[in-house]
Amino acid sequence: MSLTDDEILELHELLDDLVENNLAGKRLRRLQEWLVESEAARRRYVRFMDLSASLRHYGEECFALDDDAEAEALEEESEGLLRFFRPFLAIAAVITLVFLGVELWLRWQPMPLQEIDETSPVAGERNPASAVADESNSASALPGSGEFGGNQDEFLSEAVGKLTSALPVDWAPDSELQPNHDDFFPAGSMQLEDGLAEIKMHSGALVVLEGPADFQMNSVNEIFLARGKLRAIVPPGAKGFKVLIPSGQVIDLGTEFGLRVRDDGTAEIWVHEGEVLYEGNDRDAERAFTYMEAGESISINEKGDLSWIDMPSEPFLGAADVEYRSMEARTRRYTVWSGLSKQLAKDRRLSLYFTFDKMPSTTDPRLRDDSFHKKKREDGTIFGCNRKEEGRWPGKGALRFTSANDRVKLRLAKPMRSLTLATWLRLDILRKDYNPIVHEAKGGQAGLSWGIDGRGRIILRTYQKQSQIAEYTTSPVFDRVRRWVHLATTYDAKQGKVTHYVDGRSKSRENLRGDLRLSLDKAFLGNVSDQPRSPSAGRNLFGTIDEFIVFREALDAAEIGELYEVGRPEAFSRLNPLP
The larger pLDDT score, comparing residue 419 to residue 255, is at 419
Identify the DSSP state of 397.
Answer: B
Asked whether residue 149 carries a pLDDT value surpassing 70, the answer given is: no
Asked whether residue 572 carries a pLDDT value surpassing 60, the answer given is: no
- Least Cα distance to 482 among 184, 46, 105 occurs for 184
For residue 374, the tally of other CB atoms under 10 A from its CB is 15
What is the set of domains in the chain, with CATH numbers? 5-107 (no CATH), 155-319 (2.60.120.1440), 324-567 (2.60.120.200)
- How many whole angstroms separate alpha carbon 555 and alpha carbon 279? 58
- Least Cα distance to 165 among 147, 179, 176, 145 occurs for 179
Asked whether residue 144 carries a pLDDT value surpassing 50, the answer given is: no
Highest-confidence segment of 8-12, 58-62, 188-192, 359-363: 188-192
Identify the DSSP state of 318.
Answer: -
Per-residue pLDDT averaged across 133-153, rounded? 33
Report angle CA 500, 531, 148 to the nearest 5 degrees: 30
Rg (the chain; Cα; Å): 28
**pLDDT above 90 coverage of the chain, percent:** 32
CB distance 67 to 173 below 8 Å:
no
Asked whether residue 427 carries a pLDDT value surpassing 80, the answer given is: yes
- How many whole angstroms separate alpha carbon 152 and alpha carbon 485? 17
CB distance 227 to 207 below 8 Å:
no
Asked whether residue 519 carries a pLDDT value surpassing 80, the answer given is: yes
CB distance 444 to 465 below 8 Å:
yes
CB distance 519 to 505 below 8 Å:
no
Angle between helices 39-63 and 5-19 (to 10 degrees): 40
| Sign of the alpha-carbon dihedral angle for 386, 392, 416, 502 | negative
| Sign of the alpha-carbon dihedral angle for 462, 345, 509, 437 | negative
End-to-end CA distance of the chain: 49
Per-residue pLDDT averaged across 97-107, rounded? 43
Asked whether residue 1 carries a pLDDT value surpassing 80, the answer given is: no
- How many whole angstroms separate alpha carbon 427 and alpha carbon 137? 9
- How many whole angstroms separate alpha carbon 275 and alpha carbon 254? 7
Secondary structure E strands in 103-203 = 159-166, 170-171, 184-186, 188-194, 196-201
pTM reported for the whole predicted model:
0.56
Which pLDDT belongs to residue 146?
Answer: 34
User: In the structure, what pLDDT confidence band is assigned to residue 422 with cuts at 50, 70 and 90?
Assistant: very high
User: CB burial class (10 A; 0-12, 13-18, 19+) of residue 40?
Assistant: middle
Map residue 278 onto helix, strand or coil: strand
User: In the structure, what pLDDT confidence band is assigned to residue 129 with cuts at 50, 70 and 90?
Assistant: very low
Which pLDDT belongs to residue 50?
Answer: 64
- How many whole angstroms separate alpha carbon 353 and alpha carbon 347? 10
Asked whether residue 499 carries a pLDDT value surpassing 60, the answer given is: yes
Per-residue pLDDT averaged across 212-240, rounded? 92
Asked whether residue 277 carries a pLDDT value surpassing 70, the answer given is: yes
Question: CB within 8 A of 329, min separation 6: which ones?
Answer: 167, 168, 570, 571
* HSE-up (13 A, CA, CB side) for residue 277: 10
Secondary structure of 436-474 in HEC code, one letter for each residue? EEEEECCCCCEEEEEEEECCCCEEEEEEECCEEEEEEEC
Looking at residue 527, its amino acid is: N
Report angle CA 454, 459, 461 to the nearest 5 degrees: 125
User: In the structure, what pLDDT confidence band is assigned to residue 470 with cuts at 50, 70 and 90?
Assistant: very high
Per-residue pLDDT averaged across 93-103, rounded? 46
Range scoring the smallest mean pLDDT among 156-170, 207-221, 479-493, 523-537: 523-537
Taking only the tens place, the pLDDT of each residue in 361-393 is 878 899 999 988 777 888 999 999 999 888 988
Map residue 189 onto helix, strand or coil: strand
Which pLDDT belongs to residue 48?
Answer: 76
- How many whole angstroms separate alpha carbon 421 and alpha carbon 126? 33
Work out whether strand 206-219 and strand 407-409 pair parallel, antiparallel, or are unpaired.
Answer: unpaired
* HSE-up (13 A, CA, CB side) for residue 170: 7
Query: What backbone torsions phi and psi does residue 200 show, to the nearest 5 degrees?
Result: -100, 110
Per-residue pLDDT averaged across 28-54, rounded? 75
Which pLDDT belongs to residue 132?
Answer: 31
Q: What is the DSSP string of 31-53?
A: HHHHHHH-HHHHHHHHHHHHHHH
User: In the structure, what pLDDT confidence band is assigned to residue 110 with cuts at 50, 70 and 90?
Assistant: very low
The larger pLDDT score, comparing residue 213 to residue 58, is at 213
- How many whole angstroms separate alpha carbon 319 and alpha carbon 332? 20
Taking only the tens place, the pLDDT of each residue in 43-83 is 777 777 766 665 554 454 444 444 444 444 444 544 554 45
Query: How far are the Cα atoms of 194, 241, 296 from residue 266, in angstroms, in the given order?
Result: 21, 21, 18
Work out whether strand 458-464 and strand 446-453 pair parallel, antiparallel, or are unpaired.
Answer: antiparallel
Which pLDDT belongs to residue 123?
Answer: 30
Which pLDDT belongs to residue 188?
Answer: 93
